[in-house]
Homo-oligomer: A and B are copies of this chain.
């Protein structure tokens, strides 16, 4: 299962990482309703397949023992023993994992990070999700929270973040950031983009990251400028990641990675120029994710299979 702020997605995955079947439901707002929705999706899939274990990829802090959700900004759980509750409801063994860690498990097993001793995932979507695998095992720190990359402060006193801080990396390198940057650029250069200026005419919130990405892929000059800014901030963050984890591979995933051909080379160049000790150390390989939207589901299933 992939439990996000918008939808609860389920998939039946075989031992080779193949998705055999899927189901989904909208994410309800209360705890009980959320657990009902998950149980119903599992039950629906279990009617059509032999299901032996459940993995839940969750967009939130998962405890180090992988049994509880400590905090999830877009979900109702707060210090909730989710694994035991769902296990009781479904009669199946259940394991939780942070969604970015789960996605990286899938990329390590079947995708872009195969065999990397130290692998990092940067999932660029609405915000940034971070994952870290050491020799194939999820690193989650002493309390289950690491790596929390999206809220690293890259710009002290910078753009305010809903997390309560300001200047967080994801304010500058995400779908949301693409939107913010494009709106800022439109204010300065209104003639640079007829497409996005038209979108912004009624309400600037209509200039979503997705629309900026689409405009950039169509060659819109202002959208391409926004993409170039994102590339710079991605490069800054990658340098920071090399300083703290010194990884062999960094996988760039999330919805924004669909536009990777428009920003990845620039991000790599910036990364190489700002890394500490540039020229005196090997660089990480920066790759785009291969499993797309299914990575969280496949990773959660991979971890669930290890329970048996």
Contact = CB atoms under 8 A, between A and B. Distances in A.
A243 B146 CA distance: 6
B155 A280 contact: no
A244 B247 contact: no
Given A61-B277, A61-B280, A116-B142, A244 B70 contact: no
Contacts of A277: 61, 71, 145, 148, 163
Interface in A114-142: 116-118, 134, 139-142
Nearest to A150: B276
A61 B278 CA distance: 12
A262 interface: no
Given A141-B245, A145-B242, A148-B243, A280 B153 contact: no
A141 B78 CA distance: 33
B145 A281 contact: yes
A109 interface: no
Interface string A104-115: 000000000000
Nearest to A78: B280
Contact of A147 (B143, B164, B243, B274): B243
Interface in A272-304: 274, 276-278, 280-282, 284
Given A118-B141, A148-B276, A236-B153, A281 B61 contact: yes
Interface in A174-225: none
A6 to B, nearest CB: 21
A244 B61 contact: no
A280 B70 CA distance: 7
Contacts of A140: 246
A145 to B, nearest CB: 4
Given A236-B153, A277-B61, A284-B142, A244 B147 contact: yes
A215 B266 CA distance: 48
Nearest to A243: B148
A276 B139 CA distance: 18
Interface of A: 61, 70-71, 78, 116-118, 134, 139-149, 151-156, 163-165, 236, 240, 242-248, 274, 276-278, 280-282, 284
24 contacts: A61-B280, A116-B142, A118-B141, A118-B146, A134-B139, A142-B247, A142-B248, A142-B284, A143-B246, A143-B281, A145-B242, A146-B242, A146-B243, A146-B244, A147-B244, A147-B246, A151-B243, A151-B276, A152-B243, A154-B156, A156-B156, A163-B276, A165-B274, A244-B245
